A and B are shown apart, each in its own frame.
Chain A
Amino acid sequence: MKVINLHNDEKEWIALALENNRHAQHQLYTKFAPKMLGVCRQYCKDIHQAEDVMITAFMKVFANLKHFQHKGSFEGWIRRIMVNECISFLRVQKKVRFMDDETFFEETHNQIESQLTLDEIQFLIDQLPDGYKMVFNLYCIEGFKHHEIAELLNISEGTSKSQLSHARKMLQQQLNLQKKYTNGTE
């Protein structure tokens, strides 16, 4: 019952935000901003840049609210806008350059015994080059397929697979290095 009430609240806020009601817009922002800043932070190394991207994306959310048809979840719709905004931001910054590289590495299946903290995860992600990071985030976290990533980033499907392979290998190396440090072997 509580969930239904919340959902109804969200619908009401969306309806009011469509009429440029600032209170409703603030309510929606307060509800989704922390999660969306987390999404933007996955793509941007700097938290201030991530916040800038999030604000720009929220502007687009409110500007295109009339196009939301209540078919899927509102959060998913906002998340997609955030991801697109991050990609276009990195493109504008010219930080991403995809080479037509289709070399793949053999996947190694390593297990780590300790639980990774959020800071450790973010550190690992930040070490990746922007191209690898983008493909890894889109594939592993957002759940995109390779052909979707290829379409979104305007690259070939092979390049997308290759980028993911490189990202995985790099992350694996980082984890192995971290394991050595924690075990005191290096």
Chain B
Amino acid sequence: MAPNNWEEQIKQGLQGREIQPSAQAWDRLDAMLTVAEEKKTKRPFGVYFRYMAVAASVLVLLSLGFYFTSNLSEPEANTPTEVTQKEGSEPQRQPEGTTVNALPIGTPAQTQAVAVQPVATKRPANHEKSAAVSPKKRIINQKIIPTTESYTATAVPVPQTGVQNQPVNPQNTTGVIPKTAVAVVQPQLAKTNIKVDASSLLNQVDGELNQSFRERMFDRLNRNYQSAKSALATRNQE
């Protein structure tokens, strides 16, 4: 039986058929090719930029982490030294300070008695108040156990000789004026019986400082991240 000739006719008719495309077809194809080429040229830089952004963010995070950890470890290491410098009143740590070591430390009452007397004898020539101060100190010495008010009371006259603002730093007082050094030693020695846990106070203060700093850094980091994110979003939209 002969095959369908209509099938052959359809095959021949459709195989060689040509339909002229519209004039806009090439323009569209041209535009699409241009866009594809632009994308191709932009792409390597885009990939490079992405890698750079990732690397930069990792570096920033690492550096921030290192900064935080170093900040956290510093206070622990510094606490003992700070305590010896600022809180020289503790009897166990006094020997570490230079001024206190220079002075002969006996019983607190004896040293105070010795220390106060020269101040009292030398000041009358310069100041009238020194007379009023020395009795107070004597009273303190008699009482032996001073309170915090007495500590402030004894610290007030000393500034008149120029050491008022630096009662805590014993190095300056000893190096420049021996009188003030003596005046500084007095409150320190008088404070020996005050039980203040300096290390805990310092730790508390340092903890608060670290906490506030950390919060600030997190805020700043968050702000920078938001700005970078918005910049990236606008870049992608462009």
Interface residues, chain A, with chain B CB atoms under 8 Å away: 20, 22, 25-26, 29-30, 33-35, 37-38, 41-42, 47, 50-51, 54-55, 58-59, 62-63, 109-112, 115-118, 121, 124-125, 137, 140-141, 168, 171-172, 175
Contacts and interface: CB of A to CB of B under 8 A. Distances in A.
Nearest to B32: A59
Given A29-B26, A59-B36, A118 B6 contact: no
Nearest to B13: A121
B1 to A, nearest CB: 5
A54 B1 CA distance: 39
Contacts of A117: 13
A109 B1 contact: yes
Among B5, B14, B22, B32, find the residue whose CB has the most chain A CB atoms closer than 10 A: B14
Indicate the size class of the contact surface on chain B: 20 to 34
B195 interface: no
A56 to B, nearest CB: 8
Contact of B14 (A26, A37, A42, A111): A42
Contacts of A116: 6, 9-10, 13
A172 to B, nearest CB: 8
Given A33-B21, A38-B18, A121-B10, A110 B33 contact: no
Interface string B1-29: 11111110111011101111110011011
The 9 residue pairs across chains A and B that have the minimum distance between CB atoms:
A34-B18, A38-B17, A37-B19, A121-B13, A109-B1, A112-B6, A116-B9, A38-B19, A55-B29
B30 interface: yes
Contact of A33 (B9, B10, B15, B25): B25
A141 B19 CA distance: 17
